Amino acid sequence: MTQSHTVQDHVGSSADLDFETNDARQEVVVIANRLPLRYSTSDVGGEWTPSPGGLVSALTAVLSESNGLWIGWPGATEYDSEPTYDGIRLQPVDITAEEYEEYYLGFSNATLWPLYHDAIRYPEFHRSWWHAYQAVNERFAKVAADSVAPGGIVWVHDYQLQLVPRMLRRLRPDVRIGFFLHIPFPAAELFMQMPWRKEILEGLLGADLIGFQVHTAAVNFSRIARRLTSAKGNAAVLEYDDREIRVGAFPISVDSAQISAKVDDPAIRERASAIRSELGDPELVMLGVDRLDYTKGIRQRIRALSELYSEGFLIPGRDVMVQIAVPSRESDAHYDVARRNIEQSVGETNGDLGLVGKPVIHYIHQNLPFDELVALYLAADVMLVTPFRDGMNLVAKEYVMAHSDMTGRLVLSEFAGAAMELTGAFMVNPHDLDGLKDVIRAAVSAPENTARARMARMRRSVLGRTVYDWADSFLGALRTDPVIAPLTVDESRPLTP
Ligand code: GDG
């Protein structure tokens, strides 16, 4: 989507359209920065298309079952039709062109995103971005306050909306408010850089339940909240403002049944075989699937592969890599630079090592249909998931679910939340290039029975906690008063040797 499609002046906004909203206030309301659909225009007119990303994949599965209301930004400020999606009621919230720059590209993606991902890129702090972030959060809070039934539940999602819980509580003290952070919550040493750290903590403390992907993030939050605000208590329960706030880990997951059904679909199995033929029937197919983001370690992965080809461990024609890099945040100059760097690395690797009709890396910068993604997962012998930091990483879990026959090997960064559960993966520190090469070698060369045992272990873990379990456990905890026991996830995972 080009920026001109994304941001236009405030003309023909949702206010002009007859969306059903306040006539029937909802028991369950979800607020996320994005709606599950986004509006884009081309020469042939405008259309709503699914938004990419893990949050959408997970919440679509959940909300279509509960017939709830989803409040979010539609990715455009000008649209001429009503979005409808799988039985979910959608309530668009508009943002202006300036807010898109300052709240979305600025504070959300150039301040919070890098800061919360271990400052892989230097986080920028600008007061005008902060003011826009406050204004947009206030708008979301007001829409939620108008939409939720008395005593209902509002579930707020992710780093773009951390101030909403407190704002909403002031408007609607009768509702239960949950907040879930999809990305990591950093250690104090990093979070303390944030000029508005106290305001963000107090914003989150407006919730009754604050959920994180992993235990470490929950502990980081509780510790910093006790240090910088008047909150008292322990890692799991805080007392603040005469209220009890529960904090815990709720690791997100995938719709295992949906993926299993696709894997059993003969058309998708045929497509997986066709993909291998189209790749030239190689012995080894390696795969990467990521939003094109500098946190995902795509370029590092390509460097490791390039060296493995140069050293002769991998052979052009015999071994191939497929990298799907889904377009993301394209109006951000840093993402443009990340894209150019990745494409330069792919070009150099193919130029140096590929043969006519046999590139070593097949690079696709497109959003593919999910069925095609599942066929690719099925076709891949080795999956490379090497983020420098990732809240969870659903791709890793989707790959595991696609291998019901126990084939497939997963190389997984120890800095992805998924590493806490997928202990059967070939674990890697992606900052260590030689280590990454060693682990890819180990994954490719592991004996069949070892690899199958690893896959079986990972499948048990994903099957034991699906996206529905994630939502049920979060909403269940939010609905009940007793002190929750935070989910126990085994954190004694094997680290890279
Ligand atoms: C954030 C956090 C956390 C990818 N390419 C295509 C496509 N996808 C889908 C995958 C998967 C999702 O997008 C990506 O999810 P991830 O979890 O891997 O990554 P983020 O987008 O960064 O998600 C992350 C997640 O939120 C959930 O809490 O796990 O840590 O960063 O579901 O299948 N889907 C389609 N075409 C593609 O080309 N249809």
Kindly list the domain boundaries of the chain, sorted by start residue. 7-249, 256-464
d(CA 52, ligand 1 centre) in Å: 7
- Burial (Cβ within 10 Å: 0-12, 13-18, ≥19) of residue 495: exposed
> Which phi and psi angles does 444 have, rounded to 5°?
-65, -40
- Minimal-distance CA residue to ligand 1 atom 25: 54
d(CA 226, ligand 1 centre) in Å: 32
> Distance (Å, rounded) from C-alpha 450 to C-alpha 376?
23
d(CA 179, ligand 1 centre) in Å: 19
Cβ neighbors of 62 (< 8 A, separation 6 or more) are 467, 468, 471
Q: In the predicted model, what is the mean pLDDT of residues 296-305?
A: 97
> Which phi and psi angles does 34 have, rounded to 5°?
-105, 140
Confidence of residue 38 (pLDDT cuts 50, 70, 90): confident
Strand 148-157 versus strand 26-34 pairing type: parallel
d(CA 395, ligand 1 centre) in Å: 6
Q: In the predicted model, what is the mean pLDDT of residues 92-116?
A: 95
> Distance (Å, rounded) from C-alpha 390 to C-alpha 397?
13
d(CA 13, ligand 1 centre) in Å: 29
For residue 164, pLDDT beyond 50: yes
Nearest 10 degrees: Cα torsion 70, 396, 335, 325: -100
Confidence of residue 285 (pLDDT cuts 50, 70, 90): very high
Q: List, chain by chain if needed, residues with CB within 6 Å of any ligand 1 atom.
A: 52-55, 57-58, 182-183, 252, 289, 291, 324, 326, 367-370, 373, 390-395, 398
- Minimal-distance CA residue to ligand 1 atom 14: 54
Lowest mean pLDDT among 42-56, 291-305, 435-449: 42-56
For residue 25, pLDDT beyond 90: no
> If you classify domain 7-249 with CATH, what class do you get?
alpha beta
From 37, 290, 291, the mutation candidate for ligand 1 (largest count of ligand atoms within 8 A of CB) is 291
pLDDT of res. 353: 95
pLDDT digits (tens, 9 = 90+) for 425-481: 999 999 999 999 999 999 999 999 999 999 999 999 999 998 889 988 999 999 886
- Minimal-distance CA residue to ligand 1 atom 11: 54
Q: Alpha helix (H) ranges present in 251-361?
A: 256-264, 266-278, 298-310, 333-353
pLDDT of res. 44: 73
* 3-class DSSP state of 73: strand
Confidence of residue 4 (pLDDT cuts 50, 70, 90): very low
- Give 232's DSSP letter: E
Higher pLDDT, 121 or 126: 126
> Distance (Å, rounded) from C-alpha 291 to C-alpha 325?
5
| CATH code reported for the domain at 256-464 | 3.40.50.2000
For residue 333, pLDDT beyond 90: no
Lowest mean pLDDT among 69-83, 180-194, 372-386, 441-455: 69-83
